[in-house]
Structure 1
Amino acid sequence: MPGRAGLMKPTEVPKGPWFHAIDFRPHLDFVSRGRFAASVPPNHTLFGLYELLKHVDVAGADCLDIGTMDGIASFIVRARGASSVLATDVAARETFAFANRTLGLGVDYRTDIDLSNIVDRLADRRFDVVLMCGVLYHVFDPLQAVGTLRRLTRLNGLALVETHYLADERRPIMLFNPGDDEPITTENFFWRASASCLEAMFRLCCFQVLAKVDTGRRITYLLRAARPSAMTEANAQTRKIHKRFMTLAHYRENIDFTWLDADEDMAAERILPGLKDLQTINIRTYVPSVPFQPKWQAPPPREEPKPVKKRPLWASWRRG
């Protein structure tokens, strides 16, 4: 863990708005509010990530955090011993810069980067562990995003992907939110995919699905980057694509299966014991065990007002 002794403490805290709730103590007596109401746990969309990180040894790893926002995921893996963390986002946030300075973790922060330019902007750099939380449903082309994620991940490296999903859908389908009768009403929300669709996309892009954590309408995956020829758990159609797609003259996407099969840039093994294939988390009872996550206690139930007893009519009549 990077040293923190003698840190200069900032005297002014940005007003925000803060995206993540971050507990800065003991560096500073301040806990940022985050974007959620007090009635739900702070940062609860990251609880699947927190749980899966228990089974990933990030010590000495080169890590990438795509779409970092205020940076709590970057700060967690850096505090747990990652040798380097590169946090990227489309736009700079004063809240990230403040948190990075205050916590003294030395995370490399680069902005004006999205999934369309990240490979070029990072000069084809690749990573042992890549985090991508809350991104897939915001982009126009989620399959291309997964292909880019694979290109950024070293062979045998790990990717942790968190996203909204269609919890009750078994078919491998994706719903286009702007065309839905009951859409999620934020203006940057485009896709919800079923779990089977997400997993088929991961396998097509040469990620083995190691584990997943379901938190309700959201799901987090732990993936391992593999060669196409090693994707034995993929179905016949996916294996056919891996074998023959690169021979087609008139089609090219942002993933090269021939190149991936010849890849020798291999990451070290980082999976720790005890990993389960599937877990389900109740966000209201889950207790996170990661640095910088504020503690939360469910508010007491609201007491229903006691009914007001009405005086009978005869009582009013007797007073007259």
Structure 2
Amino acid sequence: MGRFWTDQEILDEINKRRWYHKIALRPGIVTPGISLLENVWNMTRQSREYIQYSGKRVLDLASFDGMWAFEAEQRGASLVVATDCMQPLYLNFEFCKNILQSKVLPLYNTSPYKLWEGLQVLLMDDFTEPLPFPHQIRHNQFDVVQHLGLLYHLRDPMWTLSQCRSVIKPGGHLLLETACILDTNQSIMVYNGAPGQMNRIYKDDTTWWLPSVLCIEEMLKSTLFEVIPESIRTIPSGRINNYNAGRISLVARAISGSEIDPNCHAELLRIFRNPGIVPDYL
């Protein structure tokens, strides 16, 4: 799994790089990461306790340096796939994978909008248990999808949630963490502003939306997920332009189309106007 690194060599290499995640590589050796996010990460770990990882197939989106993917492996997952669409980040991931002697599979050219297309090689074939089509795909779908710190950076959040549902088994779990609007009973999603003016809530050109908690729950229901209420955790970020911003983490169970209103199920099947969900596996 690569050459042996001394502790000093690891520390020297860490200091050459910029880090987003804090990843424990050896006792006393941790990548620096962004300390301001530690409370968000710890909140997410609390929600994660509602998921059993042992022996499960896990998909990690927006993996960056790979912290969540490596932690899923350490919790006993049988397969972990790390995806991102920012290729430069792969160098940090590769370094950590080498030190940890990890078996996490990196696919750092996979968009959250094209999970079904980008992961077909994994979904179509499994030589350990060959099955006829489409049973092979159903067998190879993921048990857990980790969608962390990503939703509010996407122009079309419903599409990516639909794609998550397309690659997850019924009864599987979605671990979601995102920026949100707190302290409102309304189902709203606040647009952060047009390009060059994206500062309605966060002064950040990569932030598109902040949904309310109810909006998140309803979007998940509309993409065939059912939130586990006791898994919900929130952290306030303060009041910004009359909005109570914060972060939320939760676990949602993937449900089948037969578990929702028949008319809504029929509408989801109209993929010409509701794209994203692969209808054969509802």
Q: How many residue pairs end up in the alignment?
A: 243
TM-score computed with the length of structure 2 as normaliser: 0.79
**Residue 256 to residue 81, structure 1, CA distance change in 2 (3 Å):** closer
What residue in structure 2 maps to residue 170 of structure 1? 185
Q: Deviations over 1:192-228 (max 9, x none)?
A: 0001111101001110111311122100110111112
Q: How does 1:1-320 map to 2 (within 5 A)?
A: 8-9=4-5, 11=9, 12-14=12-14, 15-26=16-27, 29-36=28-35, 40=36, 43-92=38-87, 93=89, 94-123=91-120, 125=123, 126-178=141-193, 182-210=200-228, 211-216=231-236, 217-231=246-260, 240-246=263-269, 251-256=273-278, 259-261=280-282
Task: Indicate the RMSD between aligned Cα atoms, in angstroms.
Answer: 2.4
Rg (Cα) greater in structure: 1
Separation of aligned partners in 2, 1:249 and 1:113 = 22
Separation of aligned partners in 2, 1:168 and 1:201 = 18
Gaps of 5+ in 2: 124-140, 237-245
Shift of 1:182: 3.5
Question: Could you tell me whether the CA contact under 8 Å between 2:144 and 2:174 is conserved in 1?
Answer: yes
Question: Could you tell me whether the CA contact under 8 Å between 1:48 and 1:162 is conserved in 2?
Answer: no
SS at match of 2:251: strand
Aligned-pair identity in percent equals 25
**Residue 174 to residue 119, structure 1, CA distance change in 2 (3 Å):** same
TM-score computed with the length of structure 1 as normaliser: 0.70
| Greater RCO, CA 8 A, separation 6+ | 1
Gaps of 5+ in 1: 232-237, 262-320
Give the partner amino acid of 1:214: T
Give the partner amino acid of 1:19: Y
Question: Could you tell me whether the CA contact under 8 Å between 1:119 and 1:148 is conserved in 2?
Answer: yes
Instruction: Give the structure with the larger strand fraction.
Output: 2
Structure 1 moving runs of 4+ over 4 Å? none
